[in-house]
Amino acid sequence: MKINHKNIEKLSFATCEHSFFPDLNARDHRIFYESQFPKFRRKRFEALMDFFELPMGKAIRSFSTGQKNQFEVILALSQGAEYILMDEPFAGNDVFNREDFYKVLLGILEPHETVLLSTHLIEEVSDFIGRAILIRKGKIVGDVSTEDIEELAKYSSVPVINAGDGANQHPSQTMLDLFTIRQTQGTLNNLKINMVGDLKYGRTVHSLLQAMSHFNPDFTFTAPDELKMPQEYKDFLNAKGIPYTETRDLEGSLNDCDILYMTRVQQERFTDPMEYEKVKNTYNLTASMLGGAKDNMKILHPLPRITEIAQDVDDTKHAYYFKQAENGVYARMAIISYLLGYK
């Protein structure tokens, strides 16, 4: 399709250079875009502003760099265009923010909408793109479907370590978790592990469950019905004869575990905001709930936390999640060193 003044409304774009008006607030932008683009999607705009928790009344100039990137993308997705061009829209954002964006993108796009995404982070987007074109020095050097995405590695000028596969698994987190559990308990064998929170979408618990299956664990899965451990992982444990129990009651399942593995309820996994609202505050671990816990029980969390662990827990002898995060630096350094051949 050739873009001209008659059909320019079919195209929107978002770039790391930003195209918004920095002195206007979000509400003013919405009014302006509605006046210029007849197909402007107000409900989508407001839903995305709410999802990313961006203020409607503040001048965009006052936003952080990450918030400005998010706002740029929101405008592009709300314009009502059929083709949405995104050129490194989240340059400078951390991986957590980028993952939020990818999940939102998958949840809101309609069949007639096409996103053209320019990015150097191929491994992050390979799970959901339909086609990948690799351009190097102005020339196309690769044009493959997702089935052949690994072919792109041939053209990479630097080595790539793929330590995960989207929302499915998180192996590098598991390595640091195993290290941390052994550090606190002196062993990986015969431990009672209570996994709490988002067990449906939480890739850290899926990976840890499979890794710990080699060490004769006893699992407790504490989650609301909407976020229970998927059946495929329970089938995995059943096949290995590994015991587990399921419950919704956090307080009733605290006192018998060696490791309490807390997770946040991940808003970005929900396409229906009302479903998220129903379960977001299901669990809130406080210091007062730990009176009957084993003396050496340790609380882990892949972080970031929201409300599932109260701040007063930080000062208890059971809190170990900040040390766990520090261990992540050492574990990933070890992985990289090993792959580079250092002894």
pLDDT in tens, 97-114: 666 677 677 667 777 888
**171-330 topology per CATH:** Rossmann fold (3.40.50)
Q: Greater confidence, 5 or 140?
A: 140
Mean pLDDT, rounded, for 79-103:
71
- Amino acid, res. 278: K
Looking at residue 186, what is its pLDDT? 97
Sheet holding 83-87, edge to edge: 11-15, 83-87, 114-118
Which residues sit opposite 134 in a β-bridge? 142
* 281's tokens: 């505050």
Percent residues over pLDDT 90 in the chain: 45
CA distance 26 to 58: 7
pLDDT tens, position by position, 279-302 = 888 899 999 999 999 999 999 999
All CATH 3.40.50.300 domain ranges of the chain, comma separated, are 8-119
Dist CA 87 CA 70 (whole Å): 13
Tokens of 87: 């050129």
| Lowest model confidence (mean pLDDT) among 13-22, 123-132, 133-142, 187-196 | 123-132
**Mean of the per-residue pLDDT values of the chain:** 83
Comparing CA positions, the residue from 330, 15, 21 lying closest to residue 176 is 330
What DSSP designation does 307 have?
S
Give the C-alpha separation, 73 to 104, whole Å.
11
**Residue 269 predicted with pLDDT over 70:** no
The segment(s) of the chain belonging to CATH 3.40.50.1370 are 171-330
The yes/no answer on whether domain 8-119 falls in CATH 3.40.190.10 is no
Q: Is 269 helix (H, G, I), strand (E, B) or coil?
A: helix
d(CA 13, CA 240): 50
Question: pTM, whole model, 2 decimals?
Answer: 0.58
pLDDT band, very low/low/confident/very high, at 69 (cuts 50, 70, 90): confident
**d(C-alpha 252, C-alpha 260), whole Å:** 13
Whether the Cβ atoms of residue 321 and residue 176 lie closer than 8 Å to each other: no
Q: Which residues make beta-bridge pairs with 319? A: 299
**Amino acid at residue number 3:** I
Q: What is the pLDDT of residue 192?
A: 98
Q: pLDDT band for position 94 (50/70/90)?
A: low
* Number of C-beta neighbours around residue 74 at 10 A: 25
